Structures are given as structure tokens and as C-alpha cells.
Structure 1
């Protein structure tokens, strides 16, 4: 069986077992498991390039100055979307980085799951020049748990051309607002970061110290119920 077919059958099996979300909206999925450590299982993004980060025991391990990038995209245009990562914080005092960023190559345009950039130990939606960012989301989520993995998710819905943003911790909403234009990432003009907030293959701002068990991007707005139904790798 070739690798592409194996990935498709593997994703379907896992999705049927755990997820209620329609497969067609899933445009990027990284499980970091043995044999597919660097792969987007959907096949839209290029192989991960490790910039000091390491992959071991099915986790992407990022830390200060050690990050990773998937530098190419060949899938459909992404606008409305959901960013999801399952993370375990190792050092909560290493902050201002991202657990998952979608970044544009051609210009300064990104959305990211950022930790501690604006409020110490709090999750927020990072964006280029803060155009889609509420710096003090109410009530916000103060995260210092270094014992378990948590699902962090951010959804972006089109509200008359503006971004309606919702932030979730394990499927429970902790922030909601409408701000800035909804971003668009077309085929050939997107890349993914872990650890850094944004940048390019040479680097960028921000650091995190955490294990990332899995990351996904959906080209749709998931509901709280759908987020709660998601599970990382079978």
C-alpha cells in the first residue's frame, strides 16, 4: 500500500472512531507519530522543517529558540477556519510564542494560537499587527497546568467581511469578539509555524516550551460540540 493511500485510510478510521466533523473541511493535520513525523496527513502542506525543535514519542517538542515550520501549501484557499492544537506546557514562563500559526508568505498576514503575549500565562488569538486580536479576552484562560494535555482552539467566522473570533479551552469558550478583516490564505501562499508566532524560514518572534501532541486546521467553523468530540491520534 502506498503512503498516500495509507494516510487517507488512517484518517478516515480515526475520524469515524472519534470525530463528528466532516472530513472535507480538514485541510491540515499533523500527528507527529513515528513514520509520519514530518507529514501533513491531508497532504496539503509540505514536510515539516525542524529548526531546533525535536519530534519524539509522538510529540513535537518546542522550546526557547527551538521551533518548526511547514513552508508550503497546495490546498484550497483558507478563510473561515478553525485552528486546533493539543498541548502540554513544560515551562509556563516561556511565553509569546504560538502552538499553531498559519502565515502568509507574500505579506505580513497571520493568525495564531498564542500564549502569554499580552497577558501572562493566558491564551489569545495572535494576528498581524493585532488586527484580529483582542489583547484582553474576557474572561480569558489562565493556563499553568504542566501535568496534562489540553485542547486549545480558535475559530474565525465571516461576519460581513470582518472576523468573528471565538477562543476555546477543551471545547469551552473563553473569549469572543469581532475585529478586523477576515484573512485569506490562497494556494501557494501559506506556511505553518510551531513555537514562533510568525516569521519565515530564518526565524521570527516568540517562544514556547511545550509538547504538541497534534495540530489541525479546518477550513470551516467548528462548534463547541464538534470541538469536544475531537480526539488526537487514535
Structure 2
């Protein structure tokens, strides 16, 4: 099956070469920087969830695991499709801004886009308000892979779709067993397990003043 959408690829890479140098440089490092942002959000989500209910904590821990599973699925699919990179396959295209990966590092789907899609969806399941940050970041990361010339547009579109579907499935299927495990760890006598899971929701006891029980005669 021919996956090549070289016309749109040429249009984007031609446009990329006409942008200011700082834009090109930002695009080259943007994908990796975006991955670091997602890692930081995973850590922050886990730390915050240590003081949340068991279900919220379980989802926060499953989020990076779901992303890792999506990456593995992407690698398996990539090995089966074996599509050549556009920076090597598309003739008369502008040179890629990033170094073209070696032969055997296949193009479809984009691993970076898969990770971005999975991370964005998983973090939204942790905290819905994050959609305003994670969704635009995932789209920008995916587009940057075409912009720098190492992926076709359909590579990143497929990666985003694959990542979101796999992440949703992993979190959905894994929540119940993860909740049971988290409950066991929070009840464990091992201090490391209790530190990792956190104390859960803090309950504040409101003492009733003694005089409140006395009726005024």
C-alpha cells in the first residue's frame, strides 16, 4: 500500500525553509522539549495524586504506563509497515531540517506523535483541565516532525490516533487492578510503599466545642 502524500510534505518542508532561523531551531528541539514537559506533568500528577483518592492515584500512575504501551505498539506497527522516511524517499523535496534517520528507522507511524497523543490523553484522564495544555502541545509536537522533514503528515496523524486509543484502553482496563494494588500499598507496613502511594485524602476532624452541647436555659 502506498502511503506517500509527498505533495503536502513538500509544501510543509518548503514553507519550513522560508521561516526565520529561530523558528527552525525551535522546531528541531521542540519535540524533545515537549517530551520533557510531559514527563514533568506525569511526575506532578503522581505527586498531587498522593493526597487524592485511590482511584485518582491509580489513574495518575497508569498514565505514564499507558504512554509506554502506546510506544511499544507504535514500534511493532512500524516494524510491520516498514515505510521509508520522506527525507529519503521524496524526490525534489527540500532538505530536512533535522538529520534524516538511518535506513531501517521506519517512518509510519511517528513514535513521537504516538507518545505525544498518549501522554496528552492520559494526562487529561488524570486531570481534565490539562486538556488546554496537553492537546495543543501534542499537536505542535506532531506537526514539528513534518516541519523538520522526518515524517509524512499521515505518519503523525496515525501516531496521534494510535497513542490516544491505546492510552485510553490501557487506563480503562487497568484502573480496577491498579486501584486494588494502590489500596494494598497504602495499607502496607512497608514505608517505601506508603511513601510512593501517599497518605490519600487528608481528613480534618472538626472538634465540637464543649459549650456547643449545652443548651441555654
> Which bracket does the TM-score occupy, shorter chain normalised?
under 0.3
TM-score (norm 2): 0.22
User: Quick check: which one's helix share is greater?
Assistant: 2
TM-score (norm 1): 0.20
**Higher radius of gyration, 1 or 2:** 2
Which one has a larger percent strand, Structure 1 or Structure 2? 1
